Amino acid sequence: MSEVKVPELAESITEGTIAEWLKSVGDQVEKGENIVELETDKVNVEVISEVSGVLSEIKAEEGETVEVGSVIAVVSDGESQSTSNDSKETEKQEEPPKEDAAKTEAPSPKQEEKEESEASSNERVQATPSARKLAREKGIDLSKVKTQAGDVIRPEDVENAAKPAQQPAKPAQQSQPAQAKSNDNPSKPVVREKLSRRRQTIAKKLLEVSNNTAMLTTFNEVDMTNVMELRKRKKDKFQEDHNGTRLGFMSFFTKASVAALKKYPDVNAEIDGTDLILKQFYDIGVAVSTEEGLVVPIVRDCDKKNFAEIEQDIVDLAVKAKDKKLGLDDMMGGSFTITNGGVFGSLMSTPIMNGTQAAILGMHSIVTRPVAIDKERMENRPMMYLALSYDHRIIDGKQAVGFLKTIKELIENPEDLLLES
């Protein structure tokens, strides 16, 4: 017998939530096989079995919060129930028929067929472990249970199936006042869903940032003409020289941010109690939207990487995020964050800082609009609004404006990035 425990996740993570059991009680498991998926504050983690055997007990149900080190399941030596049943059936067939007094105590053939049919039917039905357990306790045939949502039977579906048998109908004279009360207070249809652990964490962290920092946002606009022309001229050769890696805009803004961070080091800092920690590394977080919410994987050592390496890292991290393959190492320790609401059509926004970082850069949609070139001329130019949200406890307005102006100048003169970054 082997206990399955919640593994060490990360220094700052002490608990997780059971997202999904990949195996049910009675299933055969192999050593190293994933049996349960945990949802943590940052990423989903799959827990493996350390031994081969049968999943004999599940100690924590889906949606339950579990601490690191706690036992959540037990894997026993032996074969799965289906394998064992096959073996017993074979033994039954090999035994000669016995005719004695015990025959009167044995179940009738019809009863045996009914029990075997129900057991077989229950095995075919898709249901959570907790739903199967509840159905056994209440003596309910899972094949006759209707689901409220999806194809998997859950405990509430079993409860609903049990209600008619357990709750006798109320007399007609008692139902009338209840109906009147319902009419007096009509309600609109709603759907109540439990927030995922990821969404709860996002909500908690964003609220903490809002409550614990003096956040302010400054804006500027950047003319994207030169970057777009450079990209148009070089993108095919760039892709050919770097094994298919495409030249996007994120690498330009990442390199411009690194140059600006070197010029304004307080933007690359954070407060720890009464101390100011000035970070002398440039690990840039890139916000990625997923079905479960926003995640911010980190592109490491951006000051030491070229445009192709940054672009490839961003693509790899985005794919891992969408496939739920991000590890904790991919998410920890960023010093500055860039978010691009422009990919969704945002014209302007005030991004919220990420964790304990001092600032975040917001990119937005590129929109062609008339711009005054001088007193005499107007031209249509591809323009983008930039936003820098920053912690006013660390960064003064002069620094924030200067930082954003540096990025603007580097993007409008992209050849300078070769010298400044």
Evaluate whether 9 touches 69 at the Cβ level (below 8 Å). no
> Cα–chain-centroid distance for residue 274?
34
396 has catalytic annotation: yes
Stated as kind and residue range, the H or E segment containing 226 is helix 225-241
Give the active site residue among 77, 86, 241, 392. 392
- Please state whether 241 falls in left (phi above 0), alpha (psi between -120 and 50) or beta: alpha
Question: What token pair was written down for 225?
Answer: 């003409």
Q: What is the amino acid identity at position 36?
A: V
Evaluate whether 215 touches 352 at the Cβ level (below 8 Å). yes
Return the number of other C-beta atoms located less than 10 Å from residue 188's C-beta. 4
- B/e letters for 13-42, b = 16+ CB within 10 Å, e = fewer, are beebbbbebebebbbbbeeeeebbbbbbbb
Give the active site residue among 77, 86, 241, 396. 396
Q: Using CA atoms, how far apart are residues 358 and 222, in angstroms rounded to an integer?
A: 22
Q: Using CA atoms, how far apart are residues 372 and 89, in angstroms rounded to an integer?
A: 87
Question: What token pair was written down for 271?
Answer: 């407060």
Evaluate whether 366 touches 78 at the Cβ level (below 8 Å). no
- B/e letters for 45-71, b = 16+ CB within 10 Å, e = fewer, are bebebeeebbbbbbebebbeebebeee
Cβ-count burial of 205 within 10 angstroms (0-12 exposed, 13-18 middle, 19+ buried)? middle
Question: What token pair was written down for 230?
Answer: 């450079």
- From the list 290, 291, 294, the residue with the least C-alpha distance to 354 is 294
Q: Using CA atoms, how far apart are residues 407 and 252, in angstroms rounded to an integer?
A: 10
86 has catalytic annotation: no
Active site amino acids: 392, 396
